[in-house]
Amino acid sequence: MASGIAPSLWPTETFFALLWVDDKDAIEVPKQFPFSGRWGEIQSTGLRLDDEYRMPVKLDMVWLSIVEHKFYSIEADLPTAKLQEQWQEEDPVVGGPLLTHIVVGMAPYGWVALWLRGARKSSLHCWIRGDEVSVPMDQFSPTTSGATIDEYCQYYINNDAEVHENLILNGLPDAELFGRLMKQYRYRVVPLFEQWLEHEQRWERYRADADNVPQFSFVEIGCTDGTFDKTHSDFLIEHHWSGRPEQMTLAWHTGKVEWIMYVQFDPLLTAPIFERFYGAHRDTLADLLVHCDPQAKHYELALYRYGLSAPRVLPPESYQLIVFKNKYEHHRSIGYRLPSGAWIW
């Protein structure tokens, strides 16, 4: 199945969008007016009737960026072997196919993303840029004969209050915004269950004979590059390429007590933190440390790499977190302002 998507504040519409599997056969990304939603998610879908779903070799697409009043075109080869290899993966927990959709994302300024996505995992395989082109409006939309591209786009903008208000308040997005959102780094998640010594302002490991030491259960992450992982495998606690974390779920237990923590990161505040930490070397192996002391209700996130004298602690304002103990709220960070259920994803 194939799907298209565009960011909710910057909708698009396709003239055509084809994923060619060979010289004669193509998978069409079903049309949607408009493409608009959460970046990387499935929106429009089409069902292939073939028993065997072949991975595409080329993307061929022309689309309209509504807020820019511009058409873009792209014709690009795809990493077919890599796509095919991952498409064969099975879900490590529930069995069956791990991935079910090819998702094509259209961002402002001609940028295009391609993901493989399932219910429990999404992976980014392309981040490429198309070229601005001219398309006759009578061919793009014959039912609106005589309308100019500006009239066509403005009609949609005027009828979407959220898009209209955002354009008035903020204008078009910064040209570098999506480049920063899609940038990937090499890191792993390291859950650390230790005791916070308030009077010394430091962490200390539990004694070897301590009772009810917290035990890690699983971690889930959704990232700014439109990817996520909910497989509860060891993938996230091993070094891997990934976008910056946007949301995270961390679970652990102490005896029969179940704990779960939800974290929402501010993408604008975490971008410069990651950029300064990694510099020009995004392939540096780094750790995203998640320190937890549920008894003291103290939690801390930090970045660390070999050679640093101490971890770089993320400022509390760069994220919001809430912790539940046996499904009842136990703690929320200072300044927590998310609506109820906002961390469920």
Which range (200-204, 210-214, 257-261, 320-324) has the least confidence? 210-214
> Is it the case that residue 46 has pLDDT exceeding 70?
no
204 and 139 inside one domain: no
327 and 256 inside one domain: yes
163 and 277 inside one domain: no
- Does residue 44 belong to any structural domain of this protein? yes
Among 179, 203, 235, give the residue marking a domain's end: 179
What pLDDT, on the 0 to 100 scale, is given for residue 43? 84
Model pLDDT for residues 10-25, shown as the tens digit of each residue: 999 999 999 999 988 9
pTM: 0.92
- Total domains, the chain: 2
What pLDDT, on the 0 to 100 scale, is given for residue 288? 98
> Is it the case that residue 185 has pLDDT exceeding 50?
yes
What pLDDT, on the 0 to 100 scale, is given for residue 51? 46
Model pLDDT for residues 66-86, shown as the tens digit of each residue: 999 999 999 999 999 999 999
Q: What is the mean pLDDT of the chain?
A: 93
Among 179, 200, 228, give the residue marking a domain's end: 179
Residue 169, classed as helix, strand or coil, is: helix
- Does residue 29 belong to any structural domain of this protein? yes
Structure tokens at 223: 């990232």
172 and 187 inside one domain: no
165 and 203 inside one domain: no
Look up the domain containing 111 and give its range: 2-179
What pLDDT, on the 0 to 100 scale, is given for residue 145? 77
What pLDDT, on the 0 to 100 scale, is given for residue 244? 97
- Does residue 282 belong to any structural domain of this protein? yes
Please report, as a single letter, which amino acid is at residue 173.
P
199 and 52 inside one domain: no
- Does residue 318 belong to any structural domain of this protein? yes
Residue 156, classed as helix, strand or coil, is: helix
Distances (CA, A) of 63 to 2, 23, 213, 223: 16, 22, 55, 25
Three-state SS sequence of 238-253: CCEEEECEEEEEEEEE
- HSE toward the beta carbon, residue 61, CA cutoff 13 A: 32
160 and 232 inside one domain: no
Q: How far apart are CA 41 and CA 133, in angstroms?
A: 27
Average the pLDDT over 247-257 and give the result. Answer: 96
- Compute φ and ψ for 101, nearest 5 degrees: -135, 145
326 and 288 inside one domain: yes
- Does residue 78 belong to any structural domain of this protein? yes
Give residue 345's pLDDT band: very low, low, confident or very high (50, 70, 90): confident
Q: How far apart are CA 94 and CA 111, in angstroms?
A: 35
> Is it the case that residue 208 has pLDDT exceeding 90?
no
Residues of the chain above pLDDT 90, percent: 84
171 and 190 inside one domain: no
31 and 163 inside one domain: yes
Cα dihedral value 319, 232, 43, 266, nearest 10: 10
Among 150, 179, 208, give the residue marking a domain's end: 179
208 and 138 inside one domain: no
Give residue 106's pLDDT band: very low, low, confident or very high (50, 70, 90): very high
23 and 164 inside one domain: yes
Q: Are 71 and 60 in contact (CB under 8 A)?
A: no
- Does residue 339 belong to any structural domain of this protein? no
Give residue 209's pLDDT band: very low, low, confident or very high (50, 70, 90): confident
- Does residue 343 belong to any structural domain of this protein? no
What pLDDT, on the 0 to 100 scale, is given for residue 49? 46
